[in-house]
Amino acid sequence: MAASGSIIDRIIAINGEESDRYVAADSARRRHWAKHPTGFAALKCMDGRVHVPTMTQTAIGLVKPFRAIGGRFELWWPAFAKRMWNWVKAVRDRGDRCVVLVTYHYSASNPHLGCAGWNHDTAAARAHAERLAAGFDRVFGEQVTAMVTGVETDRDILTLHGTHGDVSGAHLIGKSDGAAQAELAAAFPRMDDRALADCMPFLIGNAAHVAAVTEHPRKVSALDHDERVIAIGHGFDYWVAHRNVAVIVNDVDPNLDVPIETAARILERNLVTAVADDDVLLLASVPYSTHGIERALAIERARGLNGFAQLVIRNRNPKLVDTGRLHALVGITFERTKRLEVIESSVVR
């Protein structure tokens, strides 16, 4: 994220552009859901390199995002359990199926470019994803299909791990939609035809994206973390669409101090190679749908998250504060447009 104007101005500009894109894509989302009504959610690491819309060449807003350090969700987390159940219930109440992508990520070229949340231990990350998927099966039964999904961040390859084999975007390059769906059906023999068909736009899009990245490989420097923002709250995936801009900390984690400390450590490291005027940002934002009390509560939550995060960073990452390059922005996001409303900003001291 090269410097051009203040970090706050850049984030506001990104939000404005992505909000416009989100609103403009409303008809595309409606067309997609008319043909592919299955509800999709993705459980992901807070890593800014993991961004499903980019990896699948699909419209922002088709997949419900959930973020936690290393993707280390637990179904017993009260806030996570409530949000997940609310999403499942909303999808099921309209008569549609639910698919949850339980992801872990890694680098094929260098283990140390993998998931810092798991100390770059891909086997442990995948094992947790498999346990979490089993928990979904145990709790939700046939209401939810949980698919363990590997994300290779060098080329953005998605690999769905089925009971009878794996299916990846890289493997599907050049194959017809029919052949690709047949392979997915063979790997997931218990998945119903509707959900199988509704997975295909994401897999076919990933195949096209991987082909493009393979033809024009990223620079080695682009494979590692290069984020400049800690985004704390939720709803960011719908507008922080630029790859590797933000480390996203979802507020469902009951041990919220841990991902904040990790995210701050990532930004502190990234500042070492940044140009002198390329600062970093702590962005706290919460979405709201209606004015009045809901909006007022969103402001209180955003302010509270900002205050808590600043306290953690001052205590555990004091060198980042001492740089004088850490800014804070408190905002709220209007759910229907994803437009950020700035409440207050400051330099963290």
d(CA 251, CA 221): 30
The two most distant CA atoms of the chain are separated, in Å, by: 58
Q: Which two tokens stand for residue 337?
A: 């447009």
CATH number of 225-347: 3.30.1330.140
* 37-215: CATH superfamily: Carboxysome Shell Carbonic Anhydrase, C-terminal domain (3.30.1330.140)
pLDDT reported for residue 3: 47
For the segment 2-60, what is each residue's pLDDT rounded down to a tens digit? 444 699 999 999 999 989 999 999 999 999 999 999 999 999 987 767 889 889 999 98
pLDDT reported for residue 172: 97
d(CA 289, CA 133): 30
Backbone angles phi, psi at 194, to 5 degrees: -65, -50
For the segment 153-165, what is each residue's pLDDT rounded down to a tens digit? 999 999 999 999 9
pTM of the model as a whole: 0.90
* For the chain, domain boundaries: 37-215, 225-347
* 326: β partners: 280
The closest alpha carbon to 247, from 56, 82, 44, 57, belongs to 44
DSSP 108: S
pLDDT reported for residue 2: 46
DSSP 217: P
pLDDT reported for residue 189: 95
List the chain residues with pLDDT less than 70: 1-5, 48, 220-225, 240-244
pLDDT reported for residue 222: 53
